[in-house]
C-alpha cells in the first residue's frame, strides 16, 4: 500500500530534506534522489536566491512541501494571506501532498516558532480537525499531519497521544505523516510503549514517514535532528513499515549537517527495512508452501 489518497496516490520512495549546505552539490552534481522535502516557509519569499534554487531543483526533482507554521492546533485563525501565498507555492512545486504538524505555536498573532504539544482533549481534536479541513479545502491538495516530539504533558488531557492523533485525522479525514523518531522520543519522555502507539493508529492513513536522529540527556531525550538514526528508531521504522506498508520516507537532518553523500547514504538505509517488509507481505512461493 505505498500509494493512498493522502499522498496523492504516489509512490515516492526515499527522500531527503533540501538544505542550504547541500545546494551547490545538488545543483552541480545532480545526484539521483527519489524526492526532496522542502520547508515551505523558506520559499514563501518575494524573490532572490531561494526561489532561483527552488526552480532549478524543480527542473530535475520531485518535491514535497513540509511546513512548520500552519499550527493546526492554535486557536488563532488561519491567516488568509499566508494561505494565499502557500497556495501559490503549491502550484509552483506541484507537491502531491502537503504536511505540517499536529501542534500549536502561536497565540493572538505572536509566534513561538516552536512545535508545541496539544492537550489531548476532544475539544482540541475538534478544533484542530476543523482547521485541517479548512486548509485542505483552500489548498485543494491532501494534507498529512505529523506527530511532534514532546517534553511535557497536560493535566487537561483526556486520552493518549495516539488516540488523539486518530481522533483528529478521522474527523479531518486527512493523512498522517508518521514521524517514528518523534514517537520514540516522546515514548521515552513520557514512558509509553512506542509499539502500542504504532499499533493504535489508522495505518491506512499514513501517507509519509519521517526518520531522524535525536540526543539523549540525563533526564529527557531531545529531538535534535543532528545525528544518524539510532537503532531503536530503525526497529520502530521496520515495524511501522510492516504495519502501514511501504511508504514514502524522509530522513530529517537539520543541524550539524554532514556532506550530502553521508545524509543520503543514511536515508537509503531505510531500503533494508523496506525490503524486509516487502518480503514479509509477499505470499510464500508454491514450492515453499508444499514443504
Partner 1 sequence: MPAAPDVPRDLRSLQRLMHRALLRPLATGDRMQRRWMDGRATAEVAAGFVRPNDRLSSLERLEIYNRMYWFRLIDNFHDDNPGLRAVLGPRAFNRLAIAYLTRYPSRSFTLRDLGARLEGFIRRAPRWTAPHTALAVDIARFEWAQTVAFDAPARPVLTTAEIARADPARLRLGLQPYVTLLALRYPVDTYVIAVKQRDALRAEASNASVAARTTARVRRIARPRREPVWIAVHRVDNRLFYKRLERPAYRILAALQAGRPLPRAVAAGGRAVTPAQVQEWFALWRQLGWLCRRK
- Interface characters, 169-188, with Fe ion (x: CB under 5 A): ----------x---------
Residue 238 engages partner 1 in binding (rule: CB under 8 A): no
With CB under 8 A as the contact rule, the residue among 80, 155, 282, 287 that binds partner 1 is 155
Beta carbons within 10 angstroms of residue 190's beta carbon: 15
Work out whether 280 is an interface residue with partner 1 (CB under 8 A): no
The reply on whether position 123 binds partner 1 by CB under 8 A is: yes
- In order, the DSSP letters of 81-102 are HHHHHHHHHHHHHT-S-EEEES
283: contact with partner 1 by CB under 8 A: no
210 binds, options partner 1, Fe ion, none, Cβ within 5 to 8 A by partner type: Fe ion
Q: What are the backbone angles phi and psi of residue 23, rounded to the nearest 5°?
A: -50, -55
The whole-angstrom separation of Cα 29 and Cα 27 is 6
Question: 226-235 long-range CB contacts below 8 Å, 24 or more apart?
Answer: 226/253, 226/254, 226/255, 226/256, 228/266, 229/181, 229/266, 229/269, 230/184, 232/184, 233/180, 233/181, 233/184, 234/269, 234/273
Question: Is residue 22 near Fe ion by the rule CB under 5 A?
Answer: no
Instruction: Confirm or reject binding of residue 37 to Fe ion (CB under 5 A).
Output: no
Shortest reach from residue 126's CB to Fe ion, in Å: 24
Nearer to Fe ion, 74 or 181 (CB): 181
Applying CB under 8 A, which residues contact partner 1?
41, 44-52, 69, 73-75, 79, 82, 104, 107-114, 116, 118-119, 121, 123-124, 127, 151-157, 189-191, 219-220
Amino acid at each position: 500500500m505505498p500509494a493512498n489518497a493522502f499522498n496523492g496516490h504516489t509512490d515516492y520512495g526515499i527522500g531527503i530534506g533540501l538544505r542550504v549546505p547541500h545546494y551547490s552539490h545538488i545543483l552541480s552534481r545532480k545526484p539521483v534522489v527519489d524526492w526532496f522535502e522542502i520547508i515551505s516557509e523558506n520559499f514563501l519569499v518575494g524573490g532572490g536566491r531561494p526561489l532561483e534554487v527552488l526552480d532549478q531543483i524543480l527542473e530535475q526533482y520531485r518535491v514535497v512541501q513540509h511546513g512548520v507554521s500552519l499550527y493546526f492546533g492554535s486557536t488563532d485563525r488561519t491567516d488568509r494571506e499566508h494561505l494565499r501565498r502557500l497556495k501559490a507555492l503549491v502550484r509552483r512545486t506541484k507537491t502531491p501532498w502537503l504536511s505540517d504538524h499536529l501542534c500549536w505555536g502561536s497565540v493572538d498573532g505572536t509566534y513561538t516558532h516552536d512545535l508545541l504539544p496539544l492537550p489531548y482533549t476532544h475539544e482540541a481534536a475538534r478544533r484542530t480537525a476543523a482547521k485541517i479541513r479548512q486548509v485542505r479545502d483552500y489548498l485543494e491538495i491532501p494534507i498529512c499531519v505529523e506527530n511532534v516530539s514532546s517534553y511535557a504533558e497536560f493535566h487537561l488531557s483526556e486520552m493518549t497521544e495516539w488516540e488523539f492523533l486518530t481522533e483528529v485525522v478521522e474527523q479531518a479525514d486527512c493523512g498522517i505523516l508518521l514521524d517514528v523518531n518523534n514517537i520514540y522520543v516522546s515514548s521515552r519522555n513520557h514512558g509509553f510503549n512506542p509499539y502500542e502507539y504504532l499499533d493504535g493508529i489508522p495505518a491506512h492513513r499514513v501517507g509519509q514517514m519521517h526518520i531522524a536522529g535525536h540526543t539523549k540527556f540525563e533526564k529527557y531525550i531531545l529531538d535534535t535532528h543532528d545525528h544518524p538514526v539510532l537503532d531503536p528508531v530503525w526497529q520502530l521504522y521496520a515495524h511501522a513499515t510492516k504495519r502501514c506498508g511501504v511508504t514514502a520516507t524522509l530522513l530529517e537532518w537539520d543541524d550539524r549537517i554532514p556532506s550530502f553523500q553521508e545524509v543520503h547514504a543514511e536515508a537509503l538505509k531505510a531500503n533494508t527495512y523496506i525490503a524486509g517488509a516487502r518480503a514479509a507481505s509477499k505470499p510464500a512461493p508454491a514450492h515453499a508452501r508444499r514443504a
